Structure 1
């Protein structure tokens, strides 16, 4: 108990949320310890209030007297998103018009306490679907006080690679899978401490018992469209309470910017509904599909006539750097890339046409057309899109 109460209440709540699925899988029936943890988590979550939309609307319609609210969003040391709000004196149309800001990096794992200031440099702006009007969301890079990119600023290097190889015209489209959890950290719609029927009817499922939380999924979809995110579709996934949305195709660094903002929007929408979003690559052990971030990639040469030869040449380069890619393709990916549940083995590179059990899948239509794109199925759902797209560009084209 001492180790739990030495951490902050927020961290303690997070630990319990993560522990609950594991405990439910390992202990049956519920042990005294597990029951106590669940009761404590329920007590904590009972004091976590959902947004009161009806009352909020009274204030959201108030005149801002020409001021603009800018929500600065950044990626923290743990692969999560953080944000804080700044008041601007006028509307802006470009990130270049926005001032730098700073935050306490010692509270996000991005700086030591004795030198805690980390700076936010605006990179992209999006219309704010929550506040509306001229209010904006601002995606930022993180920079240290000495003028160097923060250790967890993966965007900076990815953007450099994109600029260096701009003539290749890289297009990316990423498929973000995620799982919706209830207040106890258990997938929505699953029996408490138990499991639903076997996988099969849930993928693209319709109807009660097959699709969970569609209201949240649709709300996120509309929020992304309002914000100008190139979200191209959604679907229920193989495991119940797991969903996917697709972002792209986008050129260069834009894909990473849009995917990170879409994650912010997803968490922000879920906050209104009192739901937890999990990007864990294997949220539930056992005979259940994991969650990935399948990455679709093409260059101008791959999309042109004879592009299949360019794609095949890319496979050799990707195989040669398989370990380096796995190293940045997400935490906990070893639990997902087992060679089962539509994944390849984490230790072996493979590719094939229409093969969902390989590291790389070539769509059958692309093979038929002799041109197109490939799908890298290795990245986990919690992977950083800047690291994914950056290392793919580096592997195929070099670092300089």
Structure 2
């Protein structure tokens, strides 16, 4: 038997942005544990904004398990928060109520800023560095500094070793700003891996004395980009059937549901979605081919394939909850009738 270090990870009850929490227990197993072998585990919800002190018990329910490459015999355990009965989802448990579909694929582009001493990494103590331009996908000390690339490369390696479907990294438009991409099939799986990638990034930067700023517009009303979490999405129908008529119906549904999407796309999004810095106004819905300033960017490959493939929603922001974002996208897609036989005939 081997003693495994089980890191139970969950989302607390803070609003409007939940924080990641984690604690470790040691359990013996003959081999790397399966999800079914992992027990429920209680915690003090009064310390995480999830219960009152006079009745503080909450329960962690394991829902996904990954190896933890940074610990000997380590296990990353993504959890949902349940009420004391271990069955009823806690009100803060967004994962338990999301619309899910294994045929729905999501690719999240998580942007963020490295922060040091209260300023983006690489900013001078007073004022600002040279304007935006050379930083996006930049190379060289003057553009990316001497530690950021080391961190993102290490984070990439850790995520891949953990089995997280990490798909890439790049320096972003503002100085000190970076991005990683996570892909998953199904709302819950994709969102689980975004949260775990966030957790691993936060834990990694502890040893560098650097913070991660997830806020969508940390530099406020200045001529610097904010941070998004663009959501690339497709369903089986979009990939295999699609068609221009269906696409137009889908965009009409997204326009009608604009307020529902904005409501779950992350707090303070009005600061970011201004119509500037590659965004559409928060009050407007638009779509366009290869248009980075649209609400929905339509790739050339989508149009060239007969309006089949994936689309990119550019409105979600960097501190949004991927469970809610993916679920809302699926709800809007589900509102569009799919008359498969008729649409297949039209496509032919």
Same fold (TM over 0.5): yes
Residues 302 and 308, structure 1, Cα contact 8 Å, conserved in 2: no
Counterpart secondary structure, 2:120:
coil
Deviation at 1:368, TM superposition (A): 1.8
Measure the CA separation in 1 of the matches of 2:242 and 2:227: 33
In the other structure, the counterpart of 2:169 is 234
Deviation at 1:352, TM superposition (A): 1.1
Counterpart secondary structure, 2:54:
helix
For the pair 1:260 / 2:200, whether they are aligned, the reply is no
Deviation at 1:214, TM superposition (A): 0.7
The partner residue of 1:319 within 248, 255, 260 is 255
The partner residue of 1:350 within 286, 301, 313 is 286
Q: Counting strand residues as a fraction of each chain, which structure ranks higher?
A: 2
Deviation at 1:189, TM superposition (A): 0.8
In the other structure, the counterpart of 1:85 is 24
Q: Counting helix residues as a fraction of each chain, which structure ranks higher?
A: 1
Counterpart secondary structure, 1:192:
coil
Structure 2 unaligned blocks of 5 or more: 336-348
Counterpart secondary structure, 1:394:
helix
What are the equivalent positions in structure 2 for 1:192-341 lying under 5 Å apart?
192-212=125-145, 213-285=148-220, 286-341=222-277
Deviation at 1:215, TM superposition (A): 0.7
* Further displaced range: 142-151 or 289-298: 142-151
Measure the CA separation in 2 of the matches of 1:387 and 1:347: 20
RMSD (Å) for aligned C-alpha atoms: 1.6
Deviation at 1:348, TM superposition (A): 1.1
Structure 1 unaligned blocks of 5 or more: 1-64
Residues 202 and 236, structure 1, Cα contact 8 Å, conserved in 2: yes
Measure the CA separation in 1 of the matches of 2:228 and 2:122: 21
In the other structure, the counterpart of 2:309 is 372
Give the TM-score normalised by structure 2: 0.91
Measure the CA separation in 2 of the matches of 1:72 and 1:311: 41
The partner residue of 2:122 within 177, 184, 189 is 189
For the pair 1:139 / 2:73, whether they are aligned, the reply is no
The partner residue of 1:382 within 319, 323, 327 is 319
Residues 354 and 362, structure 1, Cα contact 8 Å, conserved in 2: yes
Residues 233 and 245, structure 1, Cα contact 8 Å, conserved in 2: yes
Counterpart secondary structure, 1:113:
coil
Residues 311 and 373, structure 1, Cα contact 8 Å, conserved in 2: no
Measure the CA separation in 2 of the matches of 1:308 and 1:196: 45
The partner residue of 2:55 within 106, 115, 129 is 115
Residues 187 and 327, structure 2, Cα contact 8 Å, conserved in 1: no
Deviation at 1:316, TM superposition (A): 1.2
Residues 42 and 57, structure 2, Cα contact 8 Å, conserved in 1: yes
1:241-286 CA-to-partner distances (Å, cap 9, x unmatched) read: 1000000143342101111100000101111211100100001120
Counterpart secondary structure, 1:209:
helix
Give the TM-score normalised by structure 1: 0.79
Deviation at 1:66, TM superposition (A): 2.2
